[in-house]
Structure 1
């Protein structure tokens, strides 16, 4: 039996001109094992394991990869791991959050964003980032209205250093504001948390992109006996016309294959 894949199921990332797989690979577990909220511990994969995981993702039709400076060594590892494959991937990274010595700290100034972007380009060994998101601390509207950061991202886009920009936020107000002037909102939306649904509704109206984080509730998704939580999660997500894709952060090849086969089955109907 052939495994269902996401080849042929790619869709537009809003109005950016980019086309992405409905599932993206989250890479926090490639770079950091401190201060992460997962139900069980894990070991950061070595280069050989990470390379195999990325090769499997490509084989399964995934072309969307999500990283961030706050994901420890994720970006600097992905640069060499993706060498020679730049055209095969749509890369999402972030600005605003740093992670050092086991602690997060935030800087939403335009000057920091420019330094952060240049560092990300160097680490990822690329001339441009496809989608750059603000890694919010939760003060979404203040960041968007008062920091000058969103204007800086628009400048980066005009300069060709990024293809698109948006906000990885925590509030409905922030998500709505991010969509008005940007290309994408990354929101939490899963079986347990659906408070940001108005952002999905608005994205569908505007033709803007939505990427869902914590789609499987960071591995905490659980339902009644006999119900596949992954399938139920994807049925919720992909029934909404505003959802472009969901980021899944597994480093287990079997989980990744199951997630892809399930999503492909749900989307293909």
Structure 2
């Protein structure tokens, strides 16, 4: 069961995306991550096989960031010749160096970061560029000048849309008022940003879900499927455009896609 016929609008950006997106932090970084189990960064052959599998499953949304180690550098060559098949999301604001994150929300850094991402990803335009928040969402959006800089990038044709990967309701709402998209945490354990999702649904804006499976920590009572329960929660929200899942396990990817497809079809049938 694939996602090919289940693509949906990414808000009012004009882009259409699969309901699941492929997160790529595990292609570029194995330090400072919050997964329950350790993992090895896949080599190029395994990474390419994963990307090909994702595309065959109907996934066309890929999520990366400068803070994901060497993810962008690897994706450029791996996606060579396939650019038209993917909606690429990247970010500005957070860097990850020598095992530590640091943040810079200045307009000058945002421009340097974007130009570097374009070069790494071997493209002349990134579909969606998000500010990678440190949690001070309102201060970033109101005081740093970075959101105005992203609007300028859009006017210059270097990005197609912009938004915030934030951590607060107030930040998410402001990001949607002034931009195209908010990326929010929403899962079985954390639903504090639901107001942002509801706002997007009523205003035609885009929502991407991060940590839909609670970074691999989703759990329920014995006999219950945490993946299905998670997707029933996420895709029961009309404002959700796509949920980003960061697996590098081919079986998990196939199961996630099949479960998402089944949940969305069941949900659609109930609405008829």
Q: Residues 100-151 of structure 1, C-alpha deviation per residue, up to 9 Å, x if partnerless?
A: 0000000000000000000000000000000000000000000000011000
Helix, strand or coil for the counterpart of 2:191? coil
The superposition leaves residues 11-52 of structure 1 with CA deviations (integer Å, 9 ceiling, x where unpaired) of 000000000000000000000000000000000000000000
Aligned to 1:154: 151
Partner of 2:197: 200
Separation of aligned partners in 2, 1:229 and 1:32: 26
Does residue 1:184 correspond to 2:184, yes or no? no
- Counterparts of 1:33-72 in structure 2 under 5 Å? 33-72=30-69
- Mapped pair 1:224 → 2:221: yes
Q: What is the alpha-carbon distance in structure 1 between the residues aligned to residue 153 and residue 94 of structure 2?
A: 18
User: Matches of residues 109-124 of structure 1 in structure 2 within 5 Å?
Assistant: 109-124=106-121
Q: Distance in 2 between matches of 1:239 and 1:67?
A: 26
Give distance in 1, aligned partners of 2:19 and 2:244. 9
Q: How is 1:8-157 mapped onto 2 (pairs within 5 angstroms)? A: 8-157=5-154
Would you say how many aligned residue pairs link Structure 1 and Structure 2? 266
Residue 235 of structure 2 is matched in structure 1 by 238
- Separation of aligned partners in 1, 2:63 and 2:159: 14
CA distance in 2, matches of 1:74, 1:7: 25
Alpha-carbon deviations, 1:166-223, whole Å to 9, x = none? 0000000000000001000000000000000000010011110000000000000000
TM-score (norm 1): 0.99
Deviating beyond 2 angstroms after TM superposition, the runs of 4 or more aligned structure 1 residues are none
Q: CA RMSD in A?
A: 0.3
